[in-house]
Amino acid sequence: MATPQQPRRGDTRRRIQDVALELFAERGYEKTSLREIAEHLDVTKAALYYHFKTKEDILISITDDLARPVDELIAWAQSQPRTLATKQEVLRRYSDVLWGAAALFRFMQENQATVRELSIGESFRSKVSALNGLLTESESTLTAQVRSCTALFALHAGMFAMQGIEADPEEKRAAILEVALDLVAQAEAAVTA
């Protein structure tokens, strides 16, 4: 017999992560207090500490879960030939990853100053850097390098910063991806020319 009164069973840990991410993304990491998180969940602050060692730990656990796909993408890309097709596929997949964990990446982008001092900062930076390395040929023109790099940032910015452009979200996402794909294509053209 189910007791729908008691919210859920054993999923408190996940619920904490969900609420925390939501609040972190909305109001920022520092401005989100553990009291707030606890209140949203109708538990005490101490309950959070049963599940996580520190506030930072909550964030780390979220990142570990949600950023894994990026690692997989990097691993996959490293096993592929460094062709334009590969690079474009990286962008396509990265776009999917980004939209699949939009709240986390929004948080990362909007709290860079905070994140930089947290342990997840370094791992985030190194992932973006790795992706960049996969798109860019170091012997190509400076302009070409900037173009590849911009392709990546277009995807990032596209998630939240391009709200000025009014359009169906999926169409907009497709347009952004198209621009990004085009940028790496132009970058590649420069090198092969």
- φ, ψ at 149 (rounded to 5°): -60, -45
Cβ proximity of 98 and 155 under 8 Å: yes
How far is 97 from 62, CA to CA, in rounded Å?
15
Examine residue 12 and tell whether it contacts DNA (CB under 7 A).
yes
How far is 171 from 173, CA to CA, in rounded Å?
5
Examine residue 116 and tell whether it contacts its own copies (CB under 8 A).
yes
How far is 125 from 120, CA to CA, in rounded Å?
9
Q: How many residues bind its own copies (CB under 8 A)?
A: 42
> At closest approach, how far in Å is the CB of 145 from its own copies?
5
Examine residue 54 and tell whether it contacts DNA (CB under 7 A).
yes
CA 182, 186, 187, 189 torsion-angle sign: positive
Comparing CB distances to its own copies, the nearer of 7 and 143 is 143
**Options 72, 78, 178, 189; binder of its own copies; rule CB under 8 A:** 178
Residue 136: contacted member of DNA, its own copies, none (CB under 5 to 8 Å, by partner type)? its own copies
If phi over 0 gives left and psi between -120 and 50 gives alpha, with beta otherwise, what is residue 10? left
Cβ proximity of 28 and 110 under 8 Å: yes
Examine residue 43 and tell whether it contacts DNA (CB under 7 A).
yes
Cβ proximity of 101 and 60 under 8 Å: no
Examine residue 35 and tell whether it contacts DNA (CB under 7 A).
yes
Examine residue 136 and tell whether it contacts its own copies (CB under 8 A).
yes
Chain residues binding DNA by CB under 7 A are: 10, 12, 30, 32-36, 43-47, 49-51, 53-56
Chain residues binding its own copies by CB under 8 A are: 25, 27-31, 107, 109-114, 116-117, 129, 132-133, 136, 141-143, 145-147, 149-150, 153-154, 157-158, 161-162, 164-165, 167, 171-172, 175-176, 178-179
